[in-house]
Amino acid sequence: MSNYVLQKEEFSAFFSQVSENYDFIAPIKGKETSFEKVTNDDMLNLIEWDELPLFPIKHFFQPKDEPIFKYDKTTAKDVNSKPRKTVLFGLRLCDLNAIHHRDMALMNEDFTDPFYKERRENSILIGLHCKKGDEYCFCGDMDLHDFFDLMLYEHDECFIIETKTDKGLKFAKKITALDRTDKAIHANDRITENNTRIDKEKMNKIADFFTSEKWEEGSKLCLSCTACNMLCPSCYCFEFTDEPELVLLHKGQRMRNISSCQLKCFTRVAGDFVFRKEKNDRFKHRIYHQLQYFKEKHGVTLCVGCGRCIRGCPKRIDWVDILNKM
Amino acid sequence: MAKDNIYVPTPAKIIDYVIESGDTFSIKLDVKMEHDPGQFVMCSIPGIGESAISICSFSRDYLELNIREVGNVTNAISRLKKDDSLLIRGPYGHGYPMDDFKDNSIVIIGGGSGVAPLKGIIEYVDTRRSDFKYIDIFIGYRTPEDILFKKQLKSWKTNHKVHLSVDKNPNKTKFDGKVGFVTELLKQSDFDNKGRIAVICGPPIMIKFVVGILKDKGFNEDQIFVSAERMMQCGVGFCGHCMINGKYCCKDGPVFRYDEIKDLPEK
Ligand SMILES: Cc1cc2nc3c(=O)[nH]c(=O)nc-3n(C[C@H](O)[C@H](O)[C@H](O)COP(=O)(O)OP(=O)(O)OC[C@H]3O[C@@H](n4cnc5c(N)ncnc54)[C@H](O)[C@@H]3O)c2cc1C
Ligand code: SF4
Ligand code: SF4
Ligand code: FES
């Protein structure tokens, strides 16, 4: 597909053209970097170009809490959702692949999550090539692939933009700040430094280590704080709760809330039986879902190697390091 | 935008309500739903929550559920009356592969609430009796007061071989069965694995013993079907709560061929 070029000095024009028809979401620096809606030119100065945002993009597709239907005594009615057309800008390959994995998880031949599907269909994924990982990343060890509508590769004065999908191409054609270019994306452009650290052989044999006591090195420090689940771009588990209206208790809405496998209540059934009662079992479950269980079903690990679950862990529990030592 | 919201349940009217025991009742719903024995529905009481309940009947005209009061949702359902409605969605999960059972004899082993989904198999078999050979039913309850489906038991006894036991009989109640564990009855009966399938539903500890006994009788692991139970929220393989290692109880199960899950550390 054709390549495009965006001059850096044209970025503000690019933004204003895009925001005529789309919400523009980008990684915005703050106390921690997170994906926010950009509403004005000044915010463009806050875009984080170099470092991986601590917070993932997943809340855009699957909010922390959202209504899934309204009820009234014994009737249930769909909520009217009108997802806005949205450009998600500045995604790294790890985050993009996490979206691909979420597609696999939540849209299949048997069932499709309706809210997720709507938001996916209304979004354009614009990547930003990541040049350098940090001490926690290991995306280079994972089988990531080119999953995006457009991808920006930074040059001195401009970005060269690779188009991958028809959706991306159509979008690029409409935005006049983007010009067609004959410039190719070179192997050099695609390099990401410092992004390997997991022992792949160990990772592929993780099933053999299920009973290893080494996991306790990590789990004994774990606070079950759930930060690892919340920061993970891939984790997608949820639960439902009913939220009655304050006055008319028979009316209300069923909410879908983000959920964490690190908590006992995640597997608690009536009679107070908890299937994963031990912290070590819960600690392992997350890692095994990421590296083994998802792969059994979908052929790829759920984990994309972004390292957020280690970077953001208050105890900095480095499960990759623990696995490497097995 | 119109979308297909799989989470929205639909109203189902209760057309019959039967108290089965101290904490268990059955409801018949005015719902026509194609399903396999062993599949389940998600039942909602708005404002309270949603629970997975096995379909315990096999009929084109209605749906029967057998429910034990153990918490918020199940208590709320128990307070409903005939002509009230609740909300359901489904059917979900993999039930018993009845087509594969064709031309076989079936040994049905159930304990307590676990008898409910097995009732669906019995009713399925009764609609096409000539497709199957012998049906042996082993059911165990804690006490005679806990015996479920007393109404149906008579016809089961007429058409099949029923072995019923209760763990104990503190009130010396008259009942048509033995005192002792159902596993004992199973041990004592003489049949082998030839042309036979065994299905088990009950507490995990019972499943474990029964599998052992069946193996002693020569059953292969792929002739044994077991049901699993886990915390469920979505019922469709998304929410993650029901995972048994990498298997989703709601979607890959709740019925598993034993060899499919026997090696799972969390089984
Ligand atoms: C496949 C399957 C089939 C089932 N079939 C039946 C049946 O035929 N009859 C019957 O009486 N019970 C059945 N159960 C168990 C039934 O789902 C629970 O007893 C019920 O959810 C308890 O809900 P509660 O609100 O009354 O209890 P609470 O303790 O208040 O539970 C709160 C919530 O946790 C979840 N939950 C709690 N326990 C369980 C559990 N054991 N399994 C799944 N989710 C749970 C539910 O979402 C429930 O609403 C089945 C469970 C599964 C997984
Ligand atoms: S972030 Fe760290 S401490 Fe918190 S639950 Fe995850 S592993 Fe445990
Ligand atoms: S498990 Fe950790 S490293 Fe893997 S995708 Fe999730 S946050 Fe990133
Ligand atoms: S109940 Fe949600 S994944 Fe099984």
CATH number of domain containing B129:
3.40.50.80
Quick check: bond before B37 cis, omega within 30?
no
Is A72 in contact with B46 (Cβ distance < 8 A)?
yes
Instruction: Determine the distance separating the centroid of ligand 4 and the alpha carbon of B95, expressed in angstroms.
Output: 15
Nearest residue CA, atom 8 of ligand 3?
A306
A208 touches chain B (CB under 8 A): no
Q: What is the DSSP letter of A300?
A: S
Output the CA torsion B150→B156→B157→B160 (10° steps): -160
Q: Which of A190, A208, A228 is the last residue of a domain?
A: A190
Share of chain B above pLDDT 70, in %: 99
Q: pLDDT at residue B191 above 90?
A: no
- Give me the residue label for tokens 């009536």: A270
Q: Which of A134, A168, A190 is the last residue of a domain?
A: A190
The pLDDT value recorded for residue A226 is 96
Structural domain range at position B72: 3-92
Distance between CA atoms of residues B235 and B218, nearest Å: 35
Asked whether residue A195 is domain-assigned, the answer is: no
Q: pLDDT at residue B127 above 60?
A: yes
Maximum distance among all Cα pairs of chain A, rounded to whole angstroms? 67
Instruction: Determine the distance separating the centroid of ligand 3 and the alpha carbon of A217, expressed in angstroms.
Output: 19
Q: What is the pTM of this model?
A: 0.94
The pLDDT value recorded for residue B171 is 92
Structural domain range at position A245: 200-324
Specify the ligand 2 atom closest to the Cα of A226: 5
**Do residues A142 and A230 both lie within one domain?**
no
> Average pLDDT over chain B, rounded to whole?
94
**Do residues A165 and A297 both lie within one domain?**
no
Distance between CA atoms of residues B158 and B217, nearest Å: 26
**Do residues A82 and A205 both lie within one domain?**
no
The DSSP code sequence of A43-98 is GGGGB--SSPPSS-SHHHHS-SEEEEEEEETTEEEE----PPPEEEEEE-HHHHHH
In SS3 terms, chain B reads as: CCCCCCCCCEEEEEEEEEECCCCEEEEEECCCCCCCCCCEEEEEECCCEEEEEEECCCCCCCEEEEEECCCHHHHHHHCCCCCCEEEEEEEECECCCHHHHCCCEEEEEEEHHHHHHHHHHHHHHHHCHHHCCCEEEEEEECCHHHCCCHHHHHHHHHHCEEEEEECCCCCCCCCCCEECCHHHHHHHCCCCCCCEEEEEECCHHHHHHHHHHHHHCCCCHHHEEEECCCCCCCCCCCCCCCEECCEECCCCCEEEEHHHHCCCCCC
The pLDDT value recorded for residue B1 is 40
The pLDDT value recorded for residue B3 is 59
**Do residues B102 and B85 both lie within one domain?**
no
The pLDDT value recorded for residue A1 is 79
Average pLDDT over residues B62-70: 96
ipTM for this model: 0.93
pLDDT in tens, B24-63: 999 999 999 999 999 999 999 999 999 999 999 999 999 9
The pLDDT value recorded for residue A81 is 78
Distance between CA atoms of residues A139 and A306, nearest Å: 6
Domain count, chain B: 2
Tally of residues, chain A: 326
A261 alpha carbon, closest ligand: 2
Domain count, chain A: 2
**Do residues A170 and A213 both lie within one domain?**
no
The pLDDT value recorded for residue A117 is 94
**Do residues B176 and B61 both lie within one domain?**
no
**Do residues A23 and A158 both lie within one domain?**
yes
Q: pLDDT at residue B2 above 80?
A: no
Angle at alpha carbon of residue B235, lines to B232 and B239, rounded to 5°? 70
**Do residues B130 and B81 both lie within one domain?**
no
- Mean pLDDT per 10-residue segment, chain A (326 residues): 93 95 96 95 95 94 95 89 91 97 96 95 96 93 95 95 96 95 91 92 96 96 96 97 88 96 96 94 97 96 97 96 96
pLDDT in tens, B90-120: 999 999 999 999 999 999 999 999 999 999 9
The pLDDT value recorded for residue B192 is 86
Residues with CB under 6 A from ligand 4: B 232-235, 237-242, 248-250
Distance between CA atoms of residues B243 and A284, nearest Å: 13
pLDDT in tens, B132-166: 999 999 999 999 999 999 999 999 999 999 999 99
